[in-house]
Amino acid sequence: MFSPHAAPDGEPAAILIVDDDPDIRTTMRRILEPRQHRVLEAGDGRSAIAMLEEGRPVSLVISDIHMPGADGIWLLGEVQRRFPDTGVIMLTGDADIARAVECLTLGAMDYLPKPMLVDEVRARVAKALEKRRLQAEVRRLRDQYQADLERQVLELSRKNEAMFLAQVQMAVRMLEAKDRYTRGHSDRVAAFAVATGQRLGLGAAELEEIRLGGALHDIGKIGTRDAVLNKPAELTPEELAVLQRHTLECDSMLSVLRADHPQVLQIVRWHHERLDGSGFPDGLSGDAIPMCARIVAVVDAFDAMTTTRAYRTGQSPAWAYEELHRHSGGHFDRDVVVAFTAAFPDPDQMRRTP
């Protein structure tokens, strides 16, 4: 379904600048208009909402946090609730960084510090618009698929399901293509998980669920800021909370598959749960964690440990094997770890495994 608050394909993106300081609005206009953006202005939160209610196609709102009356925090909540296809970036002074981080946990896509640097503004706006486009596309596909289910209550449209899954998997690849550190991660997790499941004696139908769940387990990160995903340092508690939301985002994105692919939903929601209850998002423990999620938890951890990331160099497969065994019975299912290492008995060959 077309949203009036996202720019139609081929048209310049409209950006609404919201600040009670007209000089700030003028500066932002001068920065963005040379990039072919259509720039709109509002002096406070309520004026901004009034403009959005008029049906003007707005892709992105850039709002100051502190404004008289309806401030940026209020505006962020209203935009998220009423215009979900419109992204929000917050403007903040150096003294407001804590409030800006709070805005990220409330759903803002990014924040820009004052005074603004031209190249930084343009780069962050470009990233926000691209991420919003990907999010809107996934939401459009989900809504389209849900409409099909409502029209065909008694019979699932297998063709539409295949199209939905193919396009969501394409979104996964687009997400990974933006990060050279995790490129191919989902395909490797899926392959490792299927081989482990075969070793455990699972049937063909369950193995297909595990393959699909492994391939889609990180799609929820499409809504996570690049600055968090690729931060070359330890995450703050607030950033960690933002990152951990990807399991819930994924569960929501793929909810239309729940009736026919329940194990896929179990995997995407619970692949970070731990046997001792220390995982997330629900703190499950022991047998409360489905076997399919326990399998993906082990192979996902292995691939994460052996892949170089922005903040560390990847470890050797042999070292990762030792870590998996060391945490067996605590974090990981012992039988799954044994099955995984038996399926791939030579650690030195693992980097050449698809």
- Written as one string, the DSSP assignment of 118-136 is HHHHHHHHHHHHHHHHHHH
Residues 163 and 296 in one domain: yes
Distance CA 144, CA 160 (A): 9
Residues 31 and 88 in one domain: yes
DSSP secondary structure letter of residue 137: H
Residue 120: give the domain boundaries: 14-131
What's the pLDDT tens digit per position in 152-208?
644 545 666 677 777 777 777 777 666 665 678 888 999 999 999 999 999 999 999
Residue 219 within a domain:
yes
- Written as one string, the DSSP assignment of 303-317 is HHHHS-BTTBPPPPH
Residue 139 within a domain:
no
Residue 4 within a domain:
no
Phi and psi at 16, nearest 5°, equal -100, 115
Residue 146 within a domain:
no
What's the pLDDT tens digit per position in 315-345?
999 999 999 999 999 999 999 999 999 999 9
Distance CA 76, CA 107 (A): 8
Residues 125 and 221 in one domain: no
pLDDT tens track, the chain, 354 positions: 334 344 545 578 899 999 999 999 999 999 999 888 999 999 999 999 999 999 878 999 999 998 988 899 999 999 999 998 899 999 987 667 788 888 888 889 998 988 889 999 999 999 999 988 888 788 888 888 777 766 664 454 566 667 777 777 777 777 766 666 567 888 899 999 999 999 999 999 999 999 999 988 988 887 777 778 778 888 889 988 988 999 998 898 888 888 888 999 999 999 999 999 999 999 999 999 999 999 999 999 999 999 887 778 889 999 999 999 999 999 999 999 999 999 999 988 886 444
Q: How many domains does the chain have?
A: 2
What's the pLDDT tens digit per position in 121-136?
999 999 999 988 888 7
Residues 6+ apart with CB under 8 A from 24: 17, 64, 91, 114
Block residue for tokens 């008289």: 68
Look at residues 131, 164, 183 and tell me which one is the last residue of a structural domain: 131
Residues 168 and 103 in one domain: no
What's 332's domain CATH number? Answer: 1.10.3210.10
pTM exceeds 0.85: no
Residues 110 and 222 in one domain: no
- Cis omega before residue 115 (within 30°)? yes
Residue 140 within a domain:
no
Beta bridge partners of 38: 14
Q: Residue ranges of the alpha helices (H) in the chain?
A: 22-32, 45-53, 72-82, 97-105, 118-151, 158-177, 185-199, 204-216, 226-229, 237-244, 246-253, 262-270, 291-306, 317-326, 334-343
Do the beta carbons of residue 221 and residue 179 sit within 8 Å? no
Residues 51 and 176 in one domain: no
Distance CA 132, CA 143 (A): 16
Residues 207 and 340 in one domain: yes
What's 84's domain CATH number? Answer: 3.40.50.2300
Residues 218 and 345 in one domain: yes
Residue 3 within a domain:
no
Block residue for tokens 């009736």: 259
Residue 230 within a domain:
yes
Residues 344 and 214 in one domain: yes
Look at residues 131, 164, 192 and tell me which one is the last residue of a structural domain: 131
Residue 257 within a domain:
yes
Do the beta carbons of residue 214 and residue 184 sit within 8 Å? no
Residues 275 and 327 in one domain: yes
Residues 214 and 321 in one domain: yes
Residues 186 and 113 in one domain: no
Distances (CA, A) of 67 to 52, 75, 131, 294: 18, 10, 27, 48
